[in-house]
Every structure is written in structure tokens, then in C-alpha cells.
Amino acid sequence: MTTNNTETTSPDKATNNNDRVVVFDTTLRDGEQSPGASMNLEEKLRIAEALEGMGVDIIEAGFAIASNGDFEAVNEVSKIIGESIVCSLARSGLADIDRAAEALAPAKRKRIHTFISTSDLHMKYKLQMSPEDVLQAVIDSVTHARKFTDDVEWSAEDGTRTDHDYLCRTVEAAIKAGATTINIPDTVGYALPNEHRDMFRMVMERVPNAHKAVFSTHCHNDLGLAVANSLAGVEAGARQIECTINGLGERAGNAALEEIIMAIRTRNDLAPYDTNIDTTNITKLSRMVSQVTGFAVQNNKAIVGANAFAHEAGIHQDGMLKHAGTYEIMTPESVGLKESSLVMGKHSGRHAFRQKLLEMGFELGDNALHDAFRRFKDLADKKKDVFDEDIVALVDDQIRGNDHIKFVSLHIVCGSSVAASADLVLDVDGKEVQNKATGDGPVDATFNALKALFPHTAVLQLYQVHAVTEGTDAQADVTVRLAEEGKTVNGAGADTDTLVASAKAYINALNKLMVKREKTAPAALSA
């Protein structure tokens, strides 16, 4: 197996362990580019802290020049993260790099990640630049980024469809200019594992200064091979993996962090690598990202899906009772799952509630804890049993502190013999407003009242309801997708009343839409 230089296999070059794989999480940047996904600043900070707590080496906090919101996110994440490296994406234009450097200024440990397309297809049609102009842009961008930090990553966008000779030229030039990490992304998820492995080996063997940089994989999942390709790249000698929680990302998504990490942990005999990840935090982070983005995790999703450790077939159940290893290749505890999630009820006290929240990754201030505990007691009065999933749903709804629009109350009249009407009260920027509207059913009436109180042109693309837990007293978890001028957002809301949950989900989507409105595409890159 071809391997890279042992002195460059960690983000701070402080270890000589060539089996160490650096984990680069881009949930806050590439993950947020999922159609429908959008996070406000408070949510991004919460996820960033959780990523650091899990042991992620590098957190790509955003694309600083993309919008004022992205700049603020990178800047604020830089202020609160102490151990992990904070990274901002930047194209090869000098203005991009300057903006990234400005956003990263407070960071204790920082990285500028600059990129440009290198495939013939992208250079001709997207960039409209010659190969020589692109090569010069690589040199100029890396050289400029080195003025602000000695930790510079360079990416060859669409690297897996790039001519090999040209790819080697650009990689050599980037390293010579000062890049310490070289990323060769499978931008459109085109590669097969053997092909991906061979490409990395080829580059490392042919580029004379390859030993001076860490090589990185960044794989998309268009063919469902992102995780397999990432592992193939590591086998070839790459020592950084770029990934996202739950595999979020553009189109079919990115390589899923939880799948990569558990593959390495479970098959360490064939993937003998080390990471800094505390796997017991995986489920907690998966749930957090799912709640924040409104992207429900599919039941049969590897590692974190609801069915990942469920056994229904009689043969499987019999085997499990005799020995768990018959049908489980990892333990639920290894990813932070408990055998039973039923731990709270209406007689539970504030201290137990606080401890439960801490276990689940929620650290609330006194006022927020008081409000959350009150909501928990209200829920416990409505439900016989309160599960972890119930608590996640109600607390996540509670901590959306900087929303412009907040739910106050809803009164519904409906039935087979009356026209459905909804009397809705909202808090819009601190002022209560009320409207009564009718509609084709109670959900339509509720949404009509919302449109009257907060006029908008967004189109409802998706309305989906599922139960958080089992039983007729289960909380309804509602997902709403809105689209406006090419921007899509998902909103989520939970309540034992499906209509209240629906109103909360629509409100959450509107708040996210206001955040996304601020994200404007930066000007096109020129030579």
C-alpha cells in the first residue's frame, strides 16, 4: 500500500502515526447546500460545538464570501472553537481569500480552503479559462492564502474527471506554492472505488513533492459510493476524509461521517486506521442535525437509522437472544444508543431532566431550562410515556431563540358538517398578530392564516407527518418544504396536536427562508 509522509498525517503535524486519519467535517458548509437545508447562526454554533466535542479535527464552518450570514457563521464559530481547526472555503479569487481570512481572524487554529475546477469540461464551460490560466490561478491563490495562515488546503474541483497529466501539474504547483493539504474531490460522485484508489496512488507516485502534503478525499454520493470511495482513497494513502453528518450535501449528498468512522472501527482488521472520533456521540449529533435541517433520517439508514439495531424476523430475534454478535456487527452503545429510551415521566424532577438533556447534547441556561422543563411537564401530562425522541423534539423547538416569527396559539374549528377555520396568533418580531382564516380542511386553513399574517410568495412543496414515538398520544413530527425563487427550505415542528405541529413546521420553514434569502451567489470567478 502506498502511503503518504508520516510527518504530515495530522492537522498540526504533531504525530508520527501514519495510520492516523484526519476527519474534516463540512456539514455546516457542503451539508447546508442540500436543497431545503438551512441553518441559522445559533444552530450552526450548537452543531460546531458538538462536532468539536465528538473529536472532529477540522470544521468547515462556511463559505465566507457567499453572504453576510456565512461570514458571520465562520466568524462566530472561530470565536467558540478551541481545539478543532476552523476552516472557510474560498474560490481562487483573491477577494474570496481575503474574506475568508477576515472571518477566520478570531480562530485559535485556522485553515483557508481554496479551490478551482481542473477538468476539461469545467475549465471550458464553467470557468471559460485556459488550462494555463487555471494553473496560474492555483499558484496565485495558494500563495495569497499563505499570507494569512500556514494551514492551506487546495482542492481540484472535479478532480476525478481531470486529465491525469494536468492533475499532477496542478497538484505539484499547489504544494510548491505552500498548500499543506491536497484535496482531490469526486465532485459529481462519478468514480468507482478501484478507480478512485488508483487515481490517488498515481498522483502520489508521480508528483515529486507529494510527500510534503496530506492528501484528502471528498466524495459525493451520486452513485451511492461516497463512503466506499473515501475508504479506497485512504487505502491508497490519503489521510484526510471530508464528510458530513447523515451524509448531507448537494444532490445525493456527501460521504456520511458516521458510516466512514464505524466502518474503520468495525473493520479495523482491513482498515487499520485511527481517528480522534468519540463514536458514542454519533447518534446524538445525527439527531441534532436532523432536527436542525428538517431532514428526517431514513429508517434503514446505516448506523443511525431507526432500524439499524432493530430485529423483527424470528430467526434474527432468536439469534440475538442467544448471542448479539449473530446479527449485530457493532453494539448500539458504541454509537451512543441505549437499550431503552424510556427514562422520563411526569414525576421526573428538574435535576433528572437537566442530566438527561446533557446526555443528549443539550446544555441550556437557567431560563431556557426552566422553559424546557415546563414544556416537558406539559408533555408528560399529555403522554403516558416520554421517550428520548420526544424530548429532542420539544427541546429543539424551544431553543430556536432568534426566530423572527414565533408560534403563540392556534384554535381550530373543523368537521364533516362545518367549513374548517383556523384562529392563529403569532409573535412577529416581538409583536403579537392574529388572523382567522378558512380553508379546505384544518391544515389548509392554518396555512392560509399564516400567509395572511406573514405575506410571502413561497410555494408549499412538501407536507409530511409522522409520529415521533408509538401510540395514539405520540407527538406528531411535521416536515414542511417551501420554495421561493430557486431557494428551498425544510421546516420541522413537533407537538401532540398535529395541527399545532403543522403550524410550527411552517413557521420554522419561513424563519429558515428569511435566513436563506440573505444567501446570494457570489459574483462569477474571472481569470
Q: What CATH number has the domain bearing residue 220? A: 3.20.20.70
Distances (CA, A) of 136 to 13, 39, 130: 28, 36, 10
Residue 356 CA to residue 373 CA, distance in Å, equals 11
Q: Which residues 6+ apart lie within 8 Å of 316 measured at CB? A: 326, 327
What is the 8-class DSSP label of residue 344?
Answer: E
* Beta-sheet pairing, 214-219 with 181-186: parallel
Based on the fold, state whether residues 375 and 480 are members of the same structural domain.
Answer: no
Say if 454 falls within a structural domain. Answer: yes
Report pLDDT for 297: 84
In the prediction, which pLDDT does 316 show? 47
Q: Are strands 214-219 and 240-243 parallel, antiparallel or unpaired?
A: parallel
Same domain, 169 and 276: yes
- Say yes or no: 149 and 248 in one domain: yes
- CA 285 to CA 494: how far, in whole Å? 19
Residue tagged 431532514 (cell numbers): 295
Residues in a beta bridge with 426: 407, 433
Asked if 490 and 478 count as a contact pair (C-beta separation under 8 A), the reply is no
Q: Note whether 121 and 159 are within 8 A (CB).
A: no
The predicted structure's pLDDT at residue 6? 35
CB of 428 within 8 A of CB of 450?
Answer: no
Asked, for residue 141, whether it belongs to a domain, the answer is yes
- Would 353 be classed as within a structural domain? yes
If asked whether residues 76 and 98 sit together in one domain, one would say: yes
Residues 87 and 197 occupy one common structural domain: yes
Any domain includes 301: no
Cell numbers at residue 375, please?
414544556
How many other CB atoms sit within 10 Å of the CB of residue 439?
17
Helices (H) and strands (E) in the chain, counts: 16, 16
| Domain shared by 279 and 381, yes or no | no
Given 278, 293, 308, which residue is the final one in a domain? Answer: 293
What are phi and psi for residue 475, nearest 5 degrees?
A: -70, 140
Instruction: Tell me the residue length of the chain.
Output: 527
Q: Tell me how far apart the alpha carbons of residues 412 and 415 are, in angstroms, rounded to a whole number.
A: 10
Distance CA 73, CA 56 (A): 18
Judge whether 334 lies within some domain: no
**Residue 330 CA, distance from chain mean position:** 24
The per-residue pLDDT for 54 is 96
Q: Which amino acid is at 167?
A: L
Residue 278 pLDDT: 96
Distance CA 141, CA 152 (A): 10
Q: Provide the grid cell at 217.
A: 478525499
Query: pLDDT, tens digit, for every residue of 267-294?
Result: 999 999 999 999 999 998 998 898 788 7
In the three-class reduction of DSSP (H, G, I as helix; E, B as strand; rest coil), residue 473 is classed as: coil
> Do strands 386-387 and 342-344 pair parallel, antiparallel, or not at all (unpaired)?
antiparallel
- The residue segments making up the domain with residue 162 are 15-293
- Which helix or strand (DSSP H or E) is residue 58 part of? strand 58-63
Q: Number of structural domains, the chain?
A: 3
* C-alpha pair distances (Å), 483 with each of 405, 458, 488, 516: 18, 5, 4, 11
Same domain, yes or no, for 386 and 420? no
In this structure, how many other beta carbons lie within 10 angstroms of the beta carbon of residue 381?
Answer: 9
Closest CA to 508 of 472, 458, 467: 458
Pairwise CA distance, residues 344 & 199, whole Å: 52
Query: Cα–Cα distance between 145 and 99 in angstroms, integer?
Result: 11
The domain that holds 417 is classified in CATH as: 3.30.160.270
CA dist., res. 335 & res. 37, Å (int): 24
CA distances from 13 to 7, 181, 276, 496 (A): 6, 11, 14, 51
| Whole-number Å distance between alpha carbons of 175 and 181 | 8
Q: What is residue 343's predicted lDDT score, i.e. its pLDDT?
A: 52
- The answer to whether 316 touches 322, Cβ cutoff 8 Å, is no
Same domain, 233 and 278: yes
375 and 258 in a common domain: no
Cβ neighbours of residue 234 closer than 8 Å, sequence gap 6 or more: 21, 217, 241, 271, 273
Distance CA 221, CA 238 (A): 19
* Averaged pLDDT in 10-residue chunks for the chain of 527 residues: 39 59 96 79 93 97 93 97 97 97 98 98 96 98 98 98 98 98 98 98 98 98 98 98 96 96 96 96 90 81 80 49 67 76 66 76 76 81 70 64 83 93 93 94 95 93 82 79 86 87 92 75 47
313 in any annotated domain: no
My answer on whether 366 and 480 are in the same domain is no
Same domain? 223 vs 366 = no
Prediction pTM value: 0.80
Q: What CA–CA distance (Å, rounded) separates 198 from 461?
A: 42
Instruction: Answer whether residue 78 is part of any domain.
Output: yes
Measured between alpha carbons, how far is 162 from 257 in angstroms, rounded to an integer? 26
Does residue 179 share a domain with residue 38?
yes
**Sequence-ordered list of residues with C-beta below 8 angstroms from that of 317, at least 6 positions apart, any chain:** 311
User: Residue 483 gets which letter from DSSP?
Assistant: E
Position of cell 485511527? 274
Strand ranges inside 364-417, DSSP E: 386-387, 405-415
Residue finishing a domain among 293, 323, 351: 293
**Torsion, Cα of 444, 449, 455, 458 (10° steps):** -20
Using DSSP's 3-state secondary structure scheme, residue 372 falls into helix
